[in-house]
């Protein structure tokens, strides 16, 4: 096979869902087995202090692909679709001659509207009632593939090719559902808790032993379709080949806890240690509320709300999550092998990250929410460029998902677009001296949460030593010394001895927030 050697690099961005940095072997986890992801790190650079712009799916995914903060691109919380008028990284690369594709989870648009959308006339699906035309909710139509609908056929947020998965576990819809039906028209009989294999060893909520075989799992689908797309790029006539930007996006290891096949009991529950802060006594009101509700046996309305399990349940959930991580890692191994088989490995920069983390037992609580603890905001970020024979092993500067778009644009030789925020990490890869510039994390609650009297907004500045969080709800303001209190158990906000530090950090937070205000569009004249 003759493969065109582009002057500009191909870029493969591999994206996990709800994966903490410390749930990978290459980030120091001695239990979970992730040889494929570890191999990316071994050939590249790990960012040890990489944080998300938001600890929720939709806001941070929008930040990854626009290079703009949630308060700027408008996806301030889950449930707000990303405007199709927003400039994206994929659109900028496509304009500069790149083939662009997204295979797997996008989540630029809300899942919660799918049920209602299925009752909406087809003519209204592109402009959902109550939303302007800039919000074309095309993931709704893709979701309808579960019931025989049609996929997205045109450019989607700059991606000229999309094959989407929607939702999690063994209940995934979208283009994957059509693929699964083609493999076995009766595959639905394997999916969901009602059809699960009985396994009384596991009692943690949202866990079931799926009958869906691992070779038909959504991770296998993403690996198969990504490999097919790569093969098509490599086999195209040389004169037609272009550099590519390919996003391979997995819906795992997001709960529910349903690893398929051998991954269900790959990790023994009794071998799982509890997180160091599992029995911590941080009095944060949200943590206290979740613990109290769980202690009384209550379950919040949504399975996406945090919960406080018993020790046994915590070990179960972690063991099953490790199984999902290993299942995803096996799929990533197939994609990496496809790069090699198609002669693309030495011209493709591989970037790996996650949209956000999970408390996963920190402070005795699981899942996520509008809190800015390290387990929620710190995620893996690995950059592996085959043209760099001697990469740095680690970068310790605090960086952010806000920096991803800027970094890829610089790496591919494309200009920054108006309104782009964040900084390129490429100078750090070249050995530039690290600084303590700090990064912003944003959240706002959509409704009353954690027993609070009103919705609230959070703004956090993460530095190498400090994490300061200002909240419109005064009880949720925080200050942690990350050097002396890495587990974030002692909130220094109200301690007199740290008042001067708090005030100085608040001033710096205010400056950073103002510096990241919207700058687009550029005025055409002075009047």
Q: Which residue has the tokens 């309305």?
A: 301
Task: Identify the band that residue 334 occupies on the pLDDT scale cut at 50, 70 and 90.
Answer: very high
Q: pLDDT digit string (tens) for 261-302?
A: 999 999 999 999 999 999 998 999 999 999 998 887 765 555
- The dihedral built from the CA positions of residue 61, 20, 477 and 311, taken in this order, carries a sign that is positive
Residue pair 202/196 in contact by the 8 Å Cβ criterion:
no
- Residue 130's CB is within 10 A of a number of other CB atoms, namely 6
Nearest Cα residue to 284 out of 463, 441, 488:
488
pLDDT classification of 142: cutoffs 50, 70, 90: low
How many Å is the maximal CA-CA distance in the chain? 71
Residues 6 or more apart whose CB falls under 8 angstroms from that of 270 comprise 315
Q: Which CATH number fits domain 10-283+309-432: 3.40.50.720, 3.40.640.10, 3.40.720.10, 2.40.50.100?
A: 3.40.720.10
Which range is least confidently modeled, 142-146, 255-259, 447-451? 142-146
Cβ partners under 8 Å of residue 301, min gap 6: none
Q: Give residue 124's pLDDT.
A: 42
The pLDDT value recorded for residue 126 is 43
Asked if residue 109 has pLDDT above 90, the reply is no
Average the pLDDT over 127-141 and give the result.
Answer: 56
Evaluate whether 59 touches 78 at the Cβ level (below 8 Å).
Answer: yes
Would you say residue 413 has pLDDT above 60? Answer: yes
Do the domains at 10-283+309-432 and 456-519 have one common CATH topology? no
What tens digit of pLDDT does each residue of 345-384 get?
999 999 999 999 999 999 999 999 999 999 999 999 999 9
Please answer whether residues 212 and 196 qualify as being in contact, where contact means their C-beta atoms are separated by less than 8 angstroms: no
Q: How far is CA 379 from CA 17, 216, 442, in A?
A: 10, 28, 15
Topology (CATH level 3) of domain 456-519 = Arylsulfatase, C-terminal domain (3.30.1120)
Cβ pair 122, 132 in contact under 8 A: no
Q: Are 359 and 373 in contact (CB under 8 A)?
A: yes
Q: Which of 377, 418, 419, 416 is nearest to 400 (CA)?
A: 377
Domain boundaries, the chain: 10-283+309-432, 456-519
**For 221-270, how does the pLDDT look when each residue is reduced to its tens digit (9 = 90+)?**
999 999 999 999 999 887 778 999 999 999 999 999 999 999 999 999 99
Would you give the distance in Å from CA 253 to the centre of its chain?
A: 10
């Amino acid at each position: 096979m003759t493969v065109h050697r582009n002057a500009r690099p191909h870029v493969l961005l591999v994206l996990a869902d709800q994966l903490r940095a410390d749930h990978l072997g290459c980030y120091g986890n001695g239990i979970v087995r992730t040889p494929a992801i570890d191999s990316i790190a071994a050939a590249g650079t790990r960012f040890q202090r990489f944080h998300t712009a938001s600890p929720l799916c939709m806001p941070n995914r929008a930040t990854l692909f626009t290079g703009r903060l949630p308060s700027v691109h408008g996806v301030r919380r889950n449930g707000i679709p990303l405007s199709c008028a927003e400039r994206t990284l994929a659109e900028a690369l496509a304009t500069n001659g790149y083939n662009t594709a997204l295979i797997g989870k996008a989540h630029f648009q809300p899942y919660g509207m799918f049920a209602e959308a299925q009752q909406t006339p087809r003519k209204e699906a592109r402009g959902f009632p109550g939303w302007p035309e800039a919000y074309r909710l095309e993931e709704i139509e893709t979701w309808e593939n579960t019931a025989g609908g049609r996929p997205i056929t045109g450019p989607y947020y700059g991606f000229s090719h999309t094959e989407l998965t929607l939702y999690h576990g063994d209940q995934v819809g979208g283009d994957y559902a059509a693929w699964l039906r083609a493999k076995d028209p009766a595959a639905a009989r394997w999916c969901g808790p009602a059809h699960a294999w009985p396994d009384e060893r596991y009692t943690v909520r949202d866990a079931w032993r799926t009958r869906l075989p691992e070779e038909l799992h959504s991770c296998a689908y993403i690996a198969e379709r990504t490999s097919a797309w790569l093969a098509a790029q490599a086999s195209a006539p040389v004169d037609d080949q272009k550099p590519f930007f390919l996003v391979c996006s997995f819906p795992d290891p997001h709960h529910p806890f349903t690893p398929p096949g051998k991954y269900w009991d790959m990790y023994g529950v009794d071998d799982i240690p509890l997180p160091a802060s599992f029995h911590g006594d941080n009095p944060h009101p949200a943590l206290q509320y979740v613990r109290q509700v769980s202690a009384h046996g209550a379950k919040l309305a949504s399975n996406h709300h945090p919960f406080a399990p018993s020790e046994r349940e915590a070990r179960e959930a972690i063991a099953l999550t490790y199984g999902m991580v290993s299942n995803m890692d096996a799929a990533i191994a197939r994609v990496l092998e496809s790069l090699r088989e198609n002669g693309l490995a030495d011209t493709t920069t591989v970037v790996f990250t996650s949209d956000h983390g999970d408390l996963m037992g920190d402070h005795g609580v699981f899942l996520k929410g509008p809190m800015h603890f390290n387990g929620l905001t710190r995620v893996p970020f690995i950059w592996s460029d085959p043209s760099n024979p001697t990469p740095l092993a680690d970068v310790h500067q605090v960086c952010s998902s806000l920096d991803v778009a800027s970094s890829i644009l610089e790496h591919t030789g494309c200009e920054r677009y108006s309104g782009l925020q964040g900084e390129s990490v490429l100078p750090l890869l070249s050995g530039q001296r690290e600084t303590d510039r700090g990064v912003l994390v944003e959240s706002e609650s959509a409704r009353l949460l954690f027993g609070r009297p009103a919705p609230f907004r959070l703004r956090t500045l993460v530095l190498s030593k400090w994490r300061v969080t200002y909240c419109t709800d005064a009880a949720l303001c925080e200050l942690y010394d990350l050097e002396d209190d890495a587990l974030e158990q002692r909130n220094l906000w109200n301690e007199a001895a740290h008042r001067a530090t708090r005030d100085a950090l608040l001033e710096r937070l205010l400056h950073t927030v103002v510096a990241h205000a919207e700058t687009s569009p550029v005025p055409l004249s002075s009047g």
